[in-house]
């Protein structure tokens, strides 16, 4: 499955974006932390249009640590199933 994002992932990483109400970096798959961030984006009180949770990227002082650590490609299907509750 190919996902087309309205923003370039390289832009999120290379511009050294500081985590904000629209961007959250997570070093790995931590269901509680990721789901908390997704719920916060869904509650979009400021009408910002949601946000992005970027998995596989550590953060230091709210900025991405490069190069990205990444996510094991063999784990991606399991993460998707867990997110969708299947």
Residue 3 included in any domain: no
Name the residue range of residue 36's domain: 9-84
Question: pLDDT tens digits for 7-32?
Answer: 777 877 776 566 677 788 999 999 99
- The pTM score is 0.75
Residue 25 included in any domain: yes
**Hey, is 48 helix, strand or coil?**
coil
CA 84 → CA 3, 31, 71, distances in Å?
16, 12, 18
Residue 58 included in any domain: yes
Question: pLDDT tens digits for 36-66?
Answer: 888 888 887 777 677 888 899 998 888 889 8
Asked if the bond preceding 10 is cis, omega within 30° of 0, the reply is: no
Domain count, the chain: 1
Residue 4 included in any domain: no
The C-alpha atoms of residue 29 and residue 21 are separated, in whole angstroms, by: 20
What's residue 23's pLDDT? 85
């Amino acid at each position: 499955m190919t996902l087309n994002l309205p923003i370039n992932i390289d832009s999120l990483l290379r511009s050294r974006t500081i985590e904000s109400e629209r961007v959250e970096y997570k070093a790995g798959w931590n269901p509680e932390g990721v789901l908390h961030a997704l719920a916060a984006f869904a509650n979009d009180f400021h009408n910002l249009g949601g946000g992005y949770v970027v998995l596989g990227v550590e953060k230091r002082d709210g900025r991405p640590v490069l190069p990205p650590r990444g996510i094991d490609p063999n784990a991606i299907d399991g993460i998707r199933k867990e997110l969708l509750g299947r």
